[in-house]
Chains A and B, each alone.
Chain A
Amino acid sequence: MTTSARDVGVAEPELAALPAPRRGPEFLYFARRNVKLLIGVSIVGLMLLLAIIGPFLVPGDPNAYVGPSAEAPSSAYWFGTTTFGQDVFAQFVHGLRNTFLVGALAGGIAAAIGMVVGFTAGYRGGVVDEGLSAFTNVILVIPTLAVMLIVAAYLTVRGVVVEALLIGFTSWPWAARAIRAQTFSLTAREFVDVARLSGMPSRRIIFREIAPNMSSYLFMTFILLFGGAVLIAATLDFIGLGPTQGTSLGLMMNNAVLWSALQLGVWWWFVPPGLGIMAIVGGLYIMNVGLDEVFNPKLRET
């Protein structure tokens, strides 16, 4: 039957050429065209570039007293100087680097804990889920501020790492809940049953079957955790609970307020760090919305 039909038939389109939702090329196609994603990536990329190469442009201690006090932005000092004669631009780029470090570290810790708790609760369900959810809810209501105050009382010298650890250990709950919900729905899919019937142990099923399926979701979760960590770190620094050494954007704003920069008209001291924080966090959130549209076909505007 097929031979006679094939003899007279016109070549059928190859299966591979059919319009199929292939992940690679389709993702890039939409990624390139999504305005929000492009804007977000540009902003964050620019800041990241500054954070990386900036400190090489202005080496040395950013808190050193190098110039005349309270001088407006000029060709010598691009962002001007503080009331103590510190180079605002130097502080800015070093602070930017610290901000990114804290964000990445805290975000990474929170993501890791969130994944472990979320996957386990979502996959196992039942008593394990109830226990982990209760634990998550407890952590959720602990205020980071209160914890930091207590820590600050005990540790007189604090570094970036401690701050990152603290933020990381207190901001994972919402990520755990989000991951748990996604894991629930994926675990109900039949390919998980098939994997169990293949004798795969649970841990391997989670990391080799379920997690790859939600890779875009995990990526977006990390971006949000990163942005959130930056914001929390800036807030903590602003009220003086941040690292005792070095500099960061929040710390710059703290000092600016402390030394009455607004009243003195030294706007170039607090405007750059403020805009910097806004740009990073805002850029990350815009990027996230754009990514959501790229990954989820239903959200795309046709």
Chain B
Amino acid sequence: MLKLDRVSKVYKVGAFGGTELHAVGEASFEVLPGQIVALIGESGSGKSTIGRMILRLSPITSGTITFEGVDITTFRRRGLKEYYRRVQGVFQDPFSSFNPIFKVDRAFATVRGEFFPETSRAEFGGKLAAALESVALNPRDVLGKYPHQLSGGQLQRLLVARALLLDIRCLVADEIISMLDASTRVDVLNLLGDLRSRGLGIVFITHDLSLGHYISDQTVILRGGVVVEMGPTERVFAHPQHEYTRMLLASVPQLHARWGSADDHVVASP
């Protein structure tokens, strides 16, 4: 469904753009429907850059990204809008993702104005209620409120609901959990699991290996913009091939084994 083929991103920095910064180097992977692919890496690994390129928020330097067989760089105004009907994104900071001076409803009103101009208010209200229900939010709790009056978890769910309004096939979730409290993280993660069972393909970008291990089917490990290891999640975590992956796994603090104990890099079996 979504395919990246040797995608690279090079920034020109410095005076007169003399120096080159290779943010992403020849990354290739694929996302199928009903699949969650975790892009795992530390800061500077290029994972967010890949997310932005998929969403056409940053231009691609070389390589191709195809969605359902079509190269996404070919889309212009109307084609791009159609692309956004199928692919959407949710970002890290829920409080930054909403314009703080407007109520949260405005984000939905914008979607209605841009994508459903012909739909009546009542019909759109029905769609909105259905979308809110699928993210386990009560309209009365969240509509008509300002972003600072709601919690991070509620705001992230609202953003997912906004994406669902558009009947998307693919969602790019860029560190959507990291700014949430521990007790609400898992609920938003489980939401991604629900979406997967409805047939969505999800690109789950995170630095947290435990989250990736919990929810994803495929794992892509990135370092310095380059894919160092890739494969089914269980296999990558149980038998890491690359030394960097092994180092990462060894550094993750876990709740069932201490660092330095015999089995600290092995993930517990159910």
Contacts and interface: CB of A to CB of B under 8 A. Distances in A.
Interface of A: 15-16, 18, 20-23, 189-191, 193-201, 209, 212-213
A195 B96 CA distance: 12
A195 B146 CA distance: 17
Nearest to A209: B99
B88 A197 contact: yes
Given A190-B91, A198-B114, A16 B149 contact: yes
18 contacts: A15-B145, A23-B101, A190-B97, A193-B55, A193-B57, A193-B89, A193-B91, A193-B97, A194-B162, A195-B110, A197-B84, A197-B89, A198-B114, A199-B80, A200-B110, A200-B114, A201-B77, A209-B99
B89 to A, nearest CB: 6
A213 B146 contact: no
Contacts of A213: 99-101
Contacts of A209: 99
Given A16-B149, A21-B148, A199-B84, 19 more contacts: A20-B149, A22-B146, A23-B101, A189-B96, A191-B96, A191-B97, A191-B98, A193-B55, A193-B97, A194-B89, A194-B98, A194-B107, A194-B162, A197-B55, A198-B107, A198-B111, A198-B114, A200-B110, A212-B99
A190 B81 contact: no
Given A213-B99, A213-B101, A194 B91 contact: yes
B115 interface: yes
Interface in B24-73: 55, 57
A22 B107 CA distance: 19
Contacts of B110: 195, 198, 200
A159 to B, nearest CB: 41
Nearest to B142: A15
Contact of B149 (A15, A190, A198): A15
